[in-house]
């Protein structure tokens, strides 16, 4: 991450590196998937009245137990003193996570809108209480003190418009404006989502292929 900030944001090697770094952090171009499918993407892809349950990675056991109990399961199904194994597809280098104070400040600035969306999600989470929110906000202040308490519209740059991104990635035409859907209706399949040649929808279901089905009719 330190090299990402250094060569992409602080002293970019080229205009291309700079543009890719900013677009990656803003989620406006499809580079790293975790950056592209960010909090804004998941939040704006939900119906306004959707119920949200949240598991915070830094409070994994507490939140997992809370969600389990919320949906009618056993309370404290994971004992508080139990440790969970870390599972990664590949070996991780601890130095990859290092960020200098200067770099952290730059990243926090560019993630300002993501911080806003993160707080929106937490406030809608049915399994979190006021103490949980207060705890996470304090943790956020420790990492990004200048931007932890900002509200939408107060960031250094406007919230990205991801209407087309939602259509291209999910086909959720009911989430975006009708004009955007009409414009993109014939090009829902993108380079990241190549059209599947499956005629039998049962085959698509067997393969877990949700691109194999027809989109629901658009209701005006």
pLDDT digits over 54-83, tens only? 999 999 999 999 999 999 998 888 887 787
| Mean pLDDT, residues 187-212 | 40
What range does the domain containing 115 cover? Answer: 38-79+98-143
Q: How many structural domains compose the chain? A: 2
Q: CA–CA separation, 47 vs 109, rounded Å? A: 28
pLDDT of residue 31: 84
For residue 174, tell me if it sits in a domain. yes
Q: How far is CA 125 from CA 95, 115, 118, in A?
A: 33, 15, 11
Q: CA–CA separation, 30 vs 23, rounded Å? A: 8
Q: CA–CA separation, 117 vs 202, rounded Å? A: 37
Q: What angle do CA 8, 193, 38 make, to 5 degrees?
A: 45
pLDDT of residue 144: 97
75 and 109, same domain (yes or no): yes
44 and 72, same domain (yes or no): yes
Q: CA–CA separation, 206 vs 215, rounded Å? A: 18
68 and 118, same domain (yes or no): yes
75 and 135, same domain (yes or no): yes
Q: CA–CA separation, 25 vs 31, rounded Å? A: 9
For residue 5, tell me if it sits in a domain. no
Give per-residue pLDDT as tens, 89-137: 666 677 777 899 999 999 999 999 999 999 999 999 999 999 999 999 9
129 and 43, same domain (yes or no): yes
45 and 124, same domain (yes or no): yes
pLDDT of residue 98: 86
125 and 176, same domain (yes or no): no
Categorize the per-residue pLDDT at 172 as very low, low, confident or very high, splitting at 50, 70 and 90.
low
For residue 105, tell me if it sits in a domain. yes
Q: DSSP 3-state assignment of 176?
A: coil
């Amino acid at each position: 991450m330190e090299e990402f900030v250094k060569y992409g944001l602080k002293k970019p090697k080229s205009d291309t590196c700079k543009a890719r770094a900013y677009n990656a952090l803003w989620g406006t171009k499809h580079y790293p998937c975790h950056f592209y499918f960010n909090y804004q993407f998941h939040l704006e892809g939900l119906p306004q009245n959707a119920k949200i349950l949240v598991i915070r990675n830094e409070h994994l056991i507490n939140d997992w137990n809370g969600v389990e109990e919320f949906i009618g399961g056993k309370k404290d199904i994971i004992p508080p003193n139990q440790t969970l194994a870390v599972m990664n597809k590949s070996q991780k280098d601890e130095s990859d996570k290092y960020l200098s104070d200067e770099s952290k400040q730059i990243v926090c600035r560019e993630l300002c809108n993501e911080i806003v969306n993160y707080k929106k999600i937490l406030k809608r989470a049915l399994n979190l209480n006021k103490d949980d929110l207060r705890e996470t906000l304090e943790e956020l202040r420790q990492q990004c003190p200048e931007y932890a308490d900002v509200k939408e519209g107060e960031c250094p740059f406007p919230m990205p418009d991801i209407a087309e991104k939602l259509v291209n990635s999910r086909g959720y035409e009911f989430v975006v404006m009708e004009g955007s859907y009409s414009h993109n209706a014939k090009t829902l399949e993108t380079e990241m989502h190549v059209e599947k040649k499956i005629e039998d929808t049962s085959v698509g279901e067997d393969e877990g292929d949700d691109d194999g089905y027809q989109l629901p009719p658009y209701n005006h």
